[in-house]
């Protein structure tokens, strides 16, 4: 495929996801309601527990990161879910495109939605709880958001692979999978509080490293060595594995006939 | 030059993780579709029609056999095939809240169209399939007929050389079916598109197809032109008579294969109408029977189908 065709195919999915999102009230609800509820309730809990400003920043950063990952990951999952719900899966696999176009197009919209929600929550965090999540500056912020978006892409593509492999039965993964990150990646607590074997697993999650790096700007000593580098390296590895898993799932669905079943 | 060349195609579906139930869908199907031809695949439900079409359209991977579409192998060169063909189904589904124009534009982009060329193509297809007044209507608000027309419009977005149509008039009112058939006939006539279609409707196959293949239980039982098939199956000619008083001996007359009473007519299938009709008429006059009506016709394709599906 030429570069122009590559860009056009990615753009096609981005436009499609944007149009779908703009026409569904539920998507706006999903974009704003739960993330705002999350930040407000966690912030209030911090106030009730009389946490220090630094500790409040610690948990609010985790909450915001989780919201950004969830919103962006859901959008990537929609790359397949929209077609599964409307039973139109076969049309896109009939076209001369690859799965990278589906996931990248949806990811673009996911990053847009993730950035919007980050902005909203940043304003809310500053106004309601006095936490400035932008204080580390543009470069660390860009790295942090890139880490969140990469994590979202990995989860989203894995969900796409599971749905393509198991059909509608795997739909629940779209909403449940990000919660695994919640437990393991040190969203509300440092991973040092986890039992040692679980903490070891947590170090294999890219978001753990990006959170660790960003929280360092708020005075928390990094628990991990070279968190940014390790985070990107892990993200690159998982992204490649998720892509291969999705490609394999599509190939299996073509062989098993699931691709057709999801279109009728 | 062949647009589709399938040899001994085999496909078995497996279900369940433990018991792995096996359902053979195609059991050695061979088919050749010349470029520019319209070929129909007919068969009862579960015959394997959609499976065959899906394999040719690269949506399904065959278990065995060799399949070449537009000169390319479906397993190894699927991407090359996809650029030059498209498919529409009689049970179309698209994203529910996208509008007619947006759906065509979305698929147009997947085939590399953009800017003015994309806008022109969308306009052209919307006009061709009389969707202009529905252009801004979301998909889930369209009638079944409009959805089918949209499916055909989408299937032409890449100006395909080869088109697969899976029961394109399924469940449509007769007048809408007629319009869809007219569109399909126009595609071959005006654009030279090779078409492979599956259908339940014999009249549709007779009207549109140069050749027909009968598929049953994953096997092609017969193929050829509609006329050649009728001859090959040797269903004979149908002589319909309205006689007073009734002549029960007709059933036993020489050359009569079977008789049935339909709305006061006695329809006799004879081995050769040219030879048997004078004999029957002579015997009727000799017996004092009065002939109130007479029709001679070739067997319907539907009768061929019923015969083959037995």
Residue B301 is predicted with a pLDDT of: 60
Chain B neighbours among A 59-98 (CB < 8 Å)? 82-83, 85-88, 90-97
Peptide bond into A214 cis (omega under 30): no
Chain A CA closest to residue B94: A88
Helix B301-309 × helix B226-233 angle, to 10°: 50
- Provide the Cα torsion A196, A198, A203, A209; round to 10°: -100
Residue A126 is predicted with a pLDDT of: 93
pLDDT single digits (tens) B4-58: 999 999 999 887 766 678 888 899 999 999 998 999 998 888 889 999 999 999 9
Average pLDDT value over all residues in chain B: 87
More confident position, A179 or B287: B287
- Cβ of A23 under 8 Å from any chain B Cβ? yes
Per-residue pLDDT for B303 more than 70? no
Residue B295 is predicted with a pLDDT of: 87
Neighbouring residues of A41: CB distance < 8 A, sequence distance ≥ 6:
none
Cβ within 8 Å, pair A94-B96: no
Question: Smallest CA–CA separation between B179 and chain A, in Å?
Answer: 24
More confident position, A105 or B255: A105
Cβ within 8 Å, pair A91-B82: no
Residue A68 is predicted with a pLDDT of: 94
Name the residue with tokens 């299938």. Answer: B269
Residue A239 is predicted with a pLDDT of: 96
Question: Smallest CA–CA separation between A175 and chain B, in Å?
Answer: 21
Q: What is the rounded average pLDDT of the residues B267-274? A: 82
Residues in chain A, pLDDT under 70 = 264
Residue B233 is predicted with a pLDDT of: 64
CB–CB of A124/A134 below 8 Å? no
Here the ipTM equals 0.89
Cβ within 8 Å, pair B82-A264: no
Cβ within 8 Å, pair B94-A92: no
Q: Give the number of other Cβ atoms within 10 Å of residue B254's Cβ.
A: 11
3-state DSSP assignment of residue B138: strand
Chain A CA closest to residue B99: A19
Write the residue in A5, A86, A93 that is nearest to B95 by C-beta.
A86
Residue B226 is predicted with a pLDDT of: 76
Name the residue with tokens 């339909």. Answer: B262
Residue B42 is predicted with a pLDDT of: 87
Helix A206-216 × helix A53-85 angle, to 10°: 150
Dihedral angle sign, alpha carbons of residues B266, B267, B271, B272: positive
Cβ within 8 Å, pair A257-B60: yes
A96 contact residues in B (CB cutoff 8 A): 79, 82-83, 110-111
pLDDT above 70: percentage of residues in chain B: 93
C-alpha distances in Å from residue B80, one per residue of A28, A46, B85: 40, 59, 9
Nearest to A89 by CA among A19, A25, A160, A9: A160
How far apart (Å, rounded) are the C-alpha atoms in residues B17 and A165? 12
Strands B2-15 and B194-199: unpaired
Residue B43 is predicted with a pLDDT of: 83
Dihedral angle sign, alpha carbons of residues A52, A58, A61, A66: negative
Chain B neighbours among A 213-252 (CB < 8 Å)? 251
CB–CB of B303/B272 below 8 Å? no
Cβ within 8 Å, pair B107-A251: no
Cβ within 8 Å, pair A19-B98: yes
How far apart (Å, rounded) are the C-alpha atoms in residues B168 and B185? 12
Residue A245 is predicted with a pLDDT of: 95
Nearest to B192 by CA among B10, B78, B34: B34
**DSSP code at position B239:** E
Nearest to B105 by CA among B86, B93, B126, B119: B119
Residue A159 is predicted with a pLDDT of: 92
- Cβ of B111 under 8 Å from any chain A Cβ? yes
Residue A26 is predicted with a pLDDT of: 76
CA B87 to chain centre: 14
- Cβ of B198 under 8 Å from any chain A Cβ? no
CA B166, A250, A167: angle at the middle one, nearest 5? 80
How far apart (Å, rounded) are the C-alpha atoms in residues B215 and B223? 9
Q: What is the rounded average pLDDT of the residues B170-191? A: 82
Q: What is the rounded average pLDDT of the residues B204-208? A: 82
Sheet (strand B237-244) strand order: B256-262, B265-270, B237-244, B290-297
- Cβ of B22 under 8 Å from any chain A Cβ? no
Cβ within 8 Å, pair A95-B54: no
Residue B185 is predicted with a pLDDT of: 87
Report residue B198: phi and psi, to 5°.
-105, 145
B305 pLDDT band, cuts 50/70/90, is low
C-alpha distances in Å from residue A92, one per residue of A72, A237, B124, B262: 22, 27, 22, 50
Element (H, E) at B213: strand B211-216
Neighbouring residues of B128: CB distance < 8 A, sequence distance ≥ 6:
B153, B156, B183
CB–CB of B224/B238 below 8 Å? no
C-alpha distances in Å from residue A211, one per residue of A15, A110, A131, A264, B250: 31, 20, 16, 43, 93
3-state DSSP assignment of residue B157: coil
Chain A CA closest to residue B54: A260
Residue B23 is predicted with a pLDDT of: 86
Per-residue pLDDT for B310 more than 70? no
Write the residue in B59, B94, B109 that is nearest to A88 by C-beta.
B94
């Amino acid at each position: 495929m030429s570069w122009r065709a590559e860009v056009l195919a990615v753009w096609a999915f981005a436009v499609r996801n944007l149009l779908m999102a703009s026409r569904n009230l539920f998507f706006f609800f999903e974009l704003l309601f739960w993330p705002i509820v999350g930040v407000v309730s966690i912030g209030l809990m911090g106030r009730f527990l009389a946490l220090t400003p630094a500790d409040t920043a610690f948990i609010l950063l985790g909450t915001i990161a989780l919201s950004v990952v969830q919103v962006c990951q859901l959008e990537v999952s929609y790359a397949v879910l929209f077609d599964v719900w409307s039973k139109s899966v076969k049309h896109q696999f009939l076209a001369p495109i690859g799965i990278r176009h589906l996931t990248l197009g949806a990811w673009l919209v996911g990053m847009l939605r993730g950035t919007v929600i980050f902005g909203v929550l940043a304003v809310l965090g500053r106004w309601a709880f006095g936490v400035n999540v932008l204080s580390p500056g543009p470069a660390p912020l860009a790295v942090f958001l890139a880490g969140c978006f990469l994590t979202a892409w990995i989860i989203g593509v894995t969900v796409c692979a599971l749905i393509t492999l198991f059909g509608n039965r795997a739909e629940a993964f779209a909403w449940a999978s990000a919660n695994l990150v919640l437990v393991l990646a040190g969203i509300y607590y440092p991973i040092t509080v986890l039992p040692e074997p679980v903490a070891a697993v947590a170090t294999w999650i890219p978001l753990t490293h990006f959170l660790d790096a960003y929280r360092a700007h708020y005075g928390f000593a990094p628990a991990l060595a070279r968190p940014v580098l390790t985070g990107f390296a892990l993200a690159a590895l998982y992204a490649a594995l998720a892509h291969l898993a999705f490609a394999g799932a599509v190939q299996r669905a073509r062989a098993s006939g699931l691709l057709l079943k999801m279109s009728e | 030059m062949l647009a589709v060349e399938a040899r001994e195609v085999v496909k078995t579906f497996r279900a369940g993780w433990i018991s792995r139930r096996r359902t053979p869908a195609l059991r050695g199907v061979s088919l050749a579709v010349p470029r520019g031809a319209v070929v129909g695949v007919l068969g009862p439900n579960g015959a394997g029609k959609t499976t065959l079409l899906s394999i040719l359209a690269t949506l399904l991977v065959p278990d065995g056999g060799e399949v070449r579409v537009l000169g390319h192998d479906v397993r190894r060169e699927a991407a090359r095939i996809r650029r030059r063909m498209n498919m529409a189904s009689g049970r179309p589904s698209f994203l529910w809240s996208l509008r007619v124009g947006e759906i065509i534009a979305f698929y147009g982009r997947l085939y590399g169209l953009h800017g003015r060329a994309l806008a022109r193509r969308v306009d052209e297809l919307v006009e061709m399939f009389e969707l202009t007044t529905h252009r801004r209507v979301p998909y889930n608000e369209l009638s079944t007929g409009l959805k089918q027309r949209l499916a055909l419009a989408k299937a032409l977005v890449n100006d395909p050389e080869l088109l697969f149509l899976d029961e394109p008039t399924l469940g449509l009112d007769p007048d809408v079916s007629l319009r869809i058939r007219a569109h399909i006939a126009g595609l071959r006539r005006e654009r030279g598109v090779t078409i492979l279609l599956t259908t339940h409707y014999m009249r549709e196959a007779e009207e549109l197809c140069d050749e027909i293949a009968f598929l049953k239980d994953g096997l092609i039982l017969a193929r050829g032109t509609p006329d050649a098939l009728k001859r090959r199956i040797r269903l004979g000619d149908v002589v319909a008579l309205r006689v007073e008083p009734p002549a029960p001996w007709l059933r036993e007359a020489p050359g009569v294969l079977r008789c049935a009473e339909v709305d006061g007519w006695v329809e006799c299938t004879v081995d050769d109408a040219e030879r048997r009709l004078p004999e029957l008429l002579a015997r009727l006059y000799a017996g004092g029977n009065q002939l109130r009506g007479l029709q001679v016709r070739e067997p319907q394709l539907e009768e061929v189908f019923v015969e083959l599906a037995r």
